[in-house]
Amino acid sequence: MGEFVIQTQKSANHQSPARWVLSHLSRNWGYFIVMVAGAFGNAALAAVMPILIGIAFDAALEKPADMNTIAMAAIGILISQVVRAILQLGRNFSSSLIGERLERDTRQELYISLLGKSMTFHDLQPVGDTMARATNDVRELNLMMYPGINLVVGSANFLIMPVLLAPRYSWQLILAPLFFLVSYVIALAHYMKVLSRISDRVRISFGNLNARLAEAIDGIEMVKSTAQEFAEFERFESNAKTYRDATVAQGREEAKFLPLLLLGITEGIGFAHALILLYAGQIQVGDVVGYIGLLSLFGFPTNISLMAYSRVSLGMAGARRILELINTETNLDENPDGYAESISGEVRFENVSFGHLPEAPVLQGIDFTVKPGQTVAIVGQTGAGKSSLVKLINRTYDVQSGQVLVDGVDVRQWSLAALRRQISIIEQDIFLFSRSIADNIAFGAPGATREEIEAAARAAQAHDFILGFEDGYETVVGGRGVTLSGGQRQRIALARAFLTNPRILILDDSTSAVDSATEDQIQKAIQHAAENRTTFLITHRLSQIRWADLVVVLRKGRVEAVGDHFEIMKSSPAYRQIFEQYEALEV
């Protein structure tokens, strides 16, 4: 179950990694048939060559030499190999195309799945590991198909040709090919069983390496400000060593691959057996030559097995990791058929409890009601649960017990899309995309006109500084908006919120990074924006607390007091203490 679902194609089978991969491959069954037919034709025509060489060899030994037979054999070899090349081209093209489509489809399915996961999932899932699965593990699926499965199917046909064609010389000569086929399958089964475990180690260790690297880069400012570059390098080196050890272990198992030894034994047994039959007069010299040529076909599956089956094993390890991510269920669902009316703005908390982890509650027994159009200030010490409280309104998180009701309807009964379209949250940690300023402002309203974008920017006191850039509204900001100051980022976020015209506006300490003059301007914009809509302010600004219609005081995850500023200043010692601390900060 996911928070948000996009149906773009026939659903894949998620019961197991193998079934999941097969369900994706089945969409390309036509190309798969071309690949299999090309592989069979390639192997069959490869077997034609030693047979024709054997026939030509006997013709050359005749007195006089049968030049017509030799010439026909040469023409046969030429034609067969031209056709073989065409079939091989079709096989390689088809398998490559299937691999690219498999990568495209699985990447799309994973991305859509990640968009649908709840914030609880994303809070607990390392970004670097997610990126490793979304990039490298998905790429491994492509490589599993081409060259992996392409070579596996091709080698399987090369394995059966000597078994099928050896009896044309003598039924006894099937023994050596059968010996190789049976021993090869047994050795391969053991090899794949061991390799599967090691491949999982390789992919997991790579995911951990990537997760730590992404975390260090994302927090590079903290790393440098605390002079922890060397410590982070040592952690990276340790993770890289773990990945290297897993890769070396894989190479060690590949070095033990028995079919290389089995091939030599088979060719020795087969040659000796053919010579015995030759001296017994049961076969001719050309038959010996052709038979040994057929046995040499085993060289292809033997030599490519190390690479091909390693690719398949790594691909399946990647499939397991991707499917694990896709199958991770969340407690939020989209509820597309739920309540979807326009919001008036009443918000009611009824005995609400919540925690990111069940054993660690953040909020307990929360009860209060906000009337439509009211402005509510949420105050409390750091860690009191203020941000978690407001994120229950738009179902960023879901309550563990109790209810949050919007217009008298439990938010879980609302259509998630309808609910979130009418609620806007501006957080203290502003996220901006590496796009133009205009695109960032219009992110929640992609169809907005330039006039509407500029009007929202003016309302957020952002228009003037935007025009100060050389490219104005087309200025591309850096990742997360790092090329802008904190105050500029917050004003762009305010403009983004104003443009969506939400019925419920939530400001999570959204003026913390602006100077006093800018704050006064933004405060006027917020007061204007708060008209006729329900507004929640998480703030330590006394000016904002004073003009709020309702103040909710949180202490250790519980409601300490509810009322207007003057009421609870008289009745709540905890609020007076908090207010005095805020007052000291502003002096």
List per-residue pLDDT tens for the chain, 587 residues long.
455 555 545 567 888 999 999 999 999 999 999 999 999 999 999 999 999 999 999 999 988 889 999 999 999 999 999 999 999 999 999 999 999 999 999 999 999 888 878 777 877 788 888 888 888 899 999 999 999 999 999 999 999 999 999 999 999 999 999 999 999 999 888 888 888 888 888 888 888 888 888 778 777 777 777 778 888 888 889 989 998 998 888 888 877 778 888 999 999 999 999 999 999 999 999 999 999 999 999 999 998 887 898 899 889 999 999 999 888 876 677 788 899 999 999 999 999 999 877 778 899 999 999 999 999 999 988 888 998 999 999 988 889 999 999 999 999 999 988 998 899 888 877 888 888 999 999 988 888 999 999 999 988 888 999 999 999 999 988 665 667 887 788 888 888 888 888 999 998 876 655 566 666 666 776 776 677 889 999 987 777 788 889 999 998 899 999 998 888 888 888 788 877 776 655 54
Number of residues assigned to the chain: 587
73, 53 Cβ separation under 8 angstroms: yes
Per-residue CA distances from 106 to 99, 117, 317 (Å): 11, 16, 14
Rounded to 5, what percent of the chain is helix, strand, coil? 65, 10, 25
Per-residue CA distances from 197 to 245, 247, 412 (Å): 14, 12, 42
Per-residue CA distances from 482 to 126, 242, 425, 458 (Å): 22, 34, 20, 22
Show the tokens assigned to 137: 């593990």
Give the torsion through C-alpha atoms of 142, 145, 151, 155, to 10 deg: 160
The pLDDT of residue 356:
79
Long-range contacts: 117-123, Cβ < 8 Å, 24+? 117/2, 117/3, 117/328, 117/330, 118/3, 118/330, 118/331, 118/332, 118/396, 118/397, 118/398, 119/391, 119/396, 119/397, 120/330, 120/331, 120/356, 120/397, 121/328, 121/330, 123/356
The pLDDT of residue 115:
83
What is the phi-psi region of residue 353: left when phi exceeds 0, alpha when psi lies from -120 to 50, beta otherwise? beta
Structural element, H or E, at residue 380 = strand 375-380
The pairing of strands 347-354 and 534-538 is unpaired
Among 366, 436, 441, 437, residue whose Cα is nearest residue 401 = 366
The pLDDT of residue 50:
96
The pLDDT of residue 366:
95
* Domains by residue range for the chain, with CATH: 17-327 (1.20.1560.10), 335-422+534-587 (3.40.50.300)
pTM: 0.73
- Angle between the N-to-C axes of helices 516-530 and 486-500, in degrees from 0 to 180, rounded to the nearest 10: 10
368, 559 Cβ separation under 8 angstroms: yes
Structural element, H or E, at residue 353 = strand 347-354
Among 395, 194, 161, 394, residue whose Cα is nearest residue 290 = 161
Per-residue CA distances from 232 to 209, 423, 557 (Å): 12, 40, 35
The pLDDT of residue 509:
74
553, 569 Cβ separation under 8 angstroms: no
Strands across the sheet with 363-370, in order? 363-370, 347-354, 401-406, 409-410
Tokens 């079934």 map to which residue? Answer: 19
The pLDDT of residue 39:
95
